[in-house]
Amino acid sequence: MRIALVSRVDDQRAISFTRDLGDTIGSLGHEVSFEPATARVLRSDNLWPFDGSVDLAIIVGGDGTILHTIQQMDHKVPVIGVNWGEVGFLADLEPDEAIPFIRGLKPGFPTEPRMRVALKSGETVLGEALNEALIVTSRPAKMLRFVIVVDGIEAESFRADGLLVSTPTGSTAYAMSAGGPIVDPRIEGFLLVPLAPYMLSSRPHLISNDRSVRIGLESAKPATLVIDGQKTIELGNEQLLEVTQAEQPALFVDAHKNFFKKVDHKLRHL
């Protein structure tokens, strides 16, 4: 198989692990390439061009490294994370599990698609997120006014510090910290979580992905859109955003790790 390796580049131990992992994978007969930043650190010329020309991407790092890598892909290829972060909820393997798992991996391995969310302004796609899109004020300590329209009906209007538009995958990330529910990632829908809403009646909503969802931003204060903590877009103070399901889901290798056991282990008993 053609396997690409990605490492967080701010941790020398992670870099050393990735180098050794590449040597082992190569000795097993696989073709190895490296994400460009990783390749520069390792002084390798075997670059992964992010164009779908590999069968698998192995990402050594935390959730931020995984999200960053998926953001860079033009064509989504299957990924599996080796946890080298604090929680690493998106990473299914611990370092000592990586080589045994890869040894047993055969072509045609099962994958689990994870829906991503896209935010559009008119016909322009502003960004696509695996975890969440965050709308916050560009000025600290100021509130924004939001109007949520579902299937053409105004479902809610509220003032808040911001609004999270999360996927089920992202429900265990920022959305959970903001008071949202934990959602089974096999469900396909949009999780809307107000951040510090002014009214007690403003609660999180989980909306089916087959509904039309629009977010009206009506405020005298400018707002900023942040995609997966990786990409920032200035929105100004008035926008009508459409929330849709992204065309390409993220693909995760099925490592046979039960989602609810991960919740219990990584979020309750760290």
What residues act catalytically?
A: 63
What are the φ/ψ torsions at residue 64 (nearest 5 degrees)? -60, -40
DSSP state of 55: S
* DSSP string for residues in 81-109: EEE-SSS-TT--B-HHHHHHHHHT--TT-
DSSP state of 182: P
Instruction: Burial-class residue 245 by CB neighbours within 10 Å (0-12, 13-18, 19+).
Output: middle
Helix 12-27 crosses helix 95-103 at what angle (to 10 degrees)?
10
Q: Nearest Cα to 183, choosing from 133, 245, 114, 231?
A: 114
Q: Nearest Cα to 239, choosing from 269, 216, 223, 221?
A: 216
Residue type, 81: G
Residue with tokens 């992202």: 170
- Establish how many alpha carbons lie within 13 A of residue 177's alpha carbon, considering only the half-sphere containing its beta carbon: 6
Task: Tell me if 66 sits within 8 A of 51, measured CB to CB.
Answer: no
